Structure formats: C-alpha cells, structure tokens
A = this chain, B = another copy of it.
Amino acid sequence: MDEIGQYLRNMRAQAPLVHNITNFVAMNVMANVLLAVGASPAMVHAREEVAEFAALAQALTVNIGTLDPAWAEAMELAARTMAARGRPWVLDPVGVGATRFRQDVCARLLDLRPSVIRGNASEILALVGLGAGGKGTDAADSVAAAEEAARDLARWTGAVVVVSGPVDFITDGSRGWRVENGHALMPRVTALGCSLNGVIAAFVAGDPGPEPVVAAMACYGLAGEMAGRAAQGPGSFAVAFLDALCAVTPEDLTRDARVLAL
C-alpha cells in the first residue's frame, strides 16, 4: 500500500459532494463529519428528485437505520443512478438481522452492486445468512468471527467489505487489512458509525478500491484517538472528534496509522 496520507490529501483536494440517504439520528452528525474532514455533504431523499440529485454527486451513501418503504425506494433510485454512472456508493445495513423488512430491502440493494458495504460483525454475518439478529445496532458478534463472512460477501457482491469494531477488518475478497486505530468512546456516541460511511464515500469518490477504504478507516480511528486525549466523556468526545477530523493532516495519518496487511 502506498503512503497512506495521500488518500486524505487527495480527498481534500477534490472535496467531493457526497449524497447521503441516511437515518434521522445520524443526519446532522454525518453532515458535520463530512464538513470537518473536508468534503461536501448533501441529504436528499424524495423520489421526485433523488435520481436527478444523485447524478450531481461524486459518491453516495445509503444507511437503512430509520427505514420506511418510501425511503427504501429512494435508496434504490439513487443507487441505480450511481451504478449506471460508474460512481461509488456505500451501503450500511443497520440492524439487518432484526426484521424481515430490513432483510428484503438489503437484498434489493445488494443487487445494485454497492462499492463498499460497512457493518458491525452481526450485520455482516446477517447479510451472508450466517448470523443471528442483532441487539439493536450493537455488535453482538466479534469481528474475528465475521472475517470469513466478510470475504465471502466481498466475493459474492464485488464490494469492498468493512467490519467495524475495536479492530476493523477490510477485504476485497482476496486481500485483507486490519486497522487498529480507534478509541473506546466511539461506540458511546451515536451515529459515529453511520457518519463513517460518508468519510469512506469521500475517500473512494476519486479512487476506487480497498486502499482508500483502509485509509478512511485509519483516518477516522486516528481522529478518535486525538479526540480521546481531550475528552472527559462521550459529550466532550463528540466535540473533540469533529475538531480532530478537521485538524488531522496527511502527515499525521502516514505517521500514526496502524494498519496490518494480512
């Protein structure tokens, strides 16, 4: 893998417009995360305009957190636009194990060939039909248990698959990486996982493939580490995390990324 900081440098130089169809809990955090890291966010979901808008964007994220049928339709319309234009889109199958409705929507979205799929271990296991229902959006299963499932999912769908956890795992089906950056307070702040989808989308907007995904994961985790040094709890962590996403430099990333190529 090349010097990892370059992916952050390139992303900021492009400042891609990232179109997000995400849940109500995450929208504000996700917009702030994208602005802080140096990209340009937009949230648009009406069927009357979602495909027209997606055509303006360099990348798309789809997150099924607070799903309903109208939003599911918007997700399909936007994903179809990206697929037709050869632009990347990221799928986050939140709580896919919990209900039949989520499983049906995810099955339709997988047919539209996401570029990246990111979930916790339970969600990735559920996607490949191996896992049990998650407890909310927590990862009841371990990342290690999901690594083989992630490789299978990557080979089956053609996506880069990310399993988020204390140590993240990224695979394109053949190669694999572990990213050790991160902080224990990250899962105590809602929507940081969802917002990560936006950062991944920004990194792959101009540069497809697993390497920029690995770089996005390391960058996000490193910002978490920087924030953790200033935080006294989850409230101050969330604030410091946005400051850190804005402050982190390509040089920081190259120096402090903890990535293991498997």
Contacts and interface: CB of A to CB of B under 8 A. Distances in A.
Contact of A43 (B23, B98, B236, B247): B23
Interface residues of A, number: 61
Interface of A: 17, 23-29, 31-32, 35-36, 40-49, 52-53, 56, 65-70, 95, 98-102, 133, 135-138, 187-191, 232-236, 238-244, 246-247
A120 to B, nearest CB: 13
Nearest to A21: B66
B242 A190 contact: no
Contacts of A242: 233-236, 238
A43 B47 CA distance: 23
Given A46-B68, A239-B239, 19 more contacts: A17-B136, A25-B28, A25-B31, A31-B190, A32-B238, A36-B234, A36-B235, A45-B68, A46-B69, A46-B101, A48-B68, A49-B102, A52-B98, A52-B100, A53-B99, A188-B246, A235-B238, A236-B239, A236-B243
Given A28-B28, A36-B234, A243-B233, A66 B52 contact: no
Nearest to A32: B190
A50 to B, nearest CB: 9
A30 to B, nearest CB: 8
Contact of A244 (B26, B29, B233, B241): B233
A135 B18 CA distance: 10
Given A29-B28, A32-B235, A98-B56, A69 B48 contact: yes
A207 B110 CA distance: 42
Given A43-B23, A136-B41, A239-B239, A49 B99 contact: yes
A190 B102 contact: no
A71 to B, nearest CB: 9
Contacts of A95: 42, 44
Given A32-B235, A68-B46, A101-B48, A135 B25 contact: no
Contact of A241 (B35, B235, B243): B235
A29 B238 CA distance: 12
Contact of A99 (B17, B52, B235): B52
A25 B25 contact: no
